[in-house]
Amino acid sequence: MSHLVAPSLLAADFGNLQRDIALVNASEADWFHVDVMDGVFVPNLSVGTPVIKAIKRLADKPLDVHLMMIDPGRYITHFKELGADILTVHYEACTHLHRTVQQIKENGMKAGVSLNPHTPINVLEEILPDLDMVLIMSVNPGYGGQTFIPGSLDKIKRLDNMRKNYWLSFDIEVDGGVTVENAASLVDAGVTVLVAGNTIFASENPKETIRRLKELG
């Protein structure tokens, strides 16, 4: 299975956002990864409605929107209208997860569920057949530039085994501390979508870094 690369705009230069979006458009990247933080579920704030509108207007690739916020079910239609193609919510933030997932799909978006580092994968067992993607957080969410939590690799492998055992085809996305050096081991473990922020935008040649993450060579 060929893997995808989704540059995280959290690490982009917001003073030159149009430039960085154009860079990703011209690269081998597959999606734009957009983190939305509410300052409550995670200890940080990130992009709001005007910025997401601007990203959608400029982007030539799908928007992979990750909601790090409480009660995300209230805002599903809003993010559809903003242009999200994939919408991911946190297991830890949803009281009625199945309902939220169905609402995402009813609004014409792919549905993802994210797990924080401390949350075991077995909590998703009953809902896996309904998901298009599971996002494994390999750092504690809220800030970019953190170091990959080593135990995340085994977590990904166990999730991949569940996917195979149940004959399912959902994507496994990983976000946090993804580098050119560890990307191959992540894909070998079962990851199909690599999210990378600082690794890409802080590199001397972001387009070349994206190419290396795609080709893993």
Q: Please indicate whether residue 175 is annotated as part of the active site.
A: yes
User: Tokens 């970019």, residue?
Assistant: 144
**Strand locations in the chain, DSSP E?**
4-7, 32-37, 63-68, 86-90, 110-115, 133-137, 171-175, 193-196
Measured between alpha carbons, how far is 56 from 101 in angstroms, rounded to an integer? Answer: 22
From 30, 64, 132, 175, the catalytic residue: 175
Catalytic residue among 35, 64, 132, 171: 35
Find out whether 64 and 32 touch, Cβ atoms under 8 Å. yes
Please state, in angstroms and rounded to a whole number, the distance separating the CA atoms of residues 21 and 59: 6
SS3 of residue 34 by DSSP? strand
> CA 149: distance to chain centroid?
16
Residue type (1 letter), 186? L
Taking each continuous run of H as one helix and of E as one strand, the counts in the chain are 8, 8
171 is catalytic: no
Measure the CA–CA gap between 213 and 196, rounded to whole angstroms: 9
Spatial distance between the Cα atoms of 160 and 118, rounded to a whole number of angstroms: 18
Residues annotated catalytic, as ranges: 35, 175
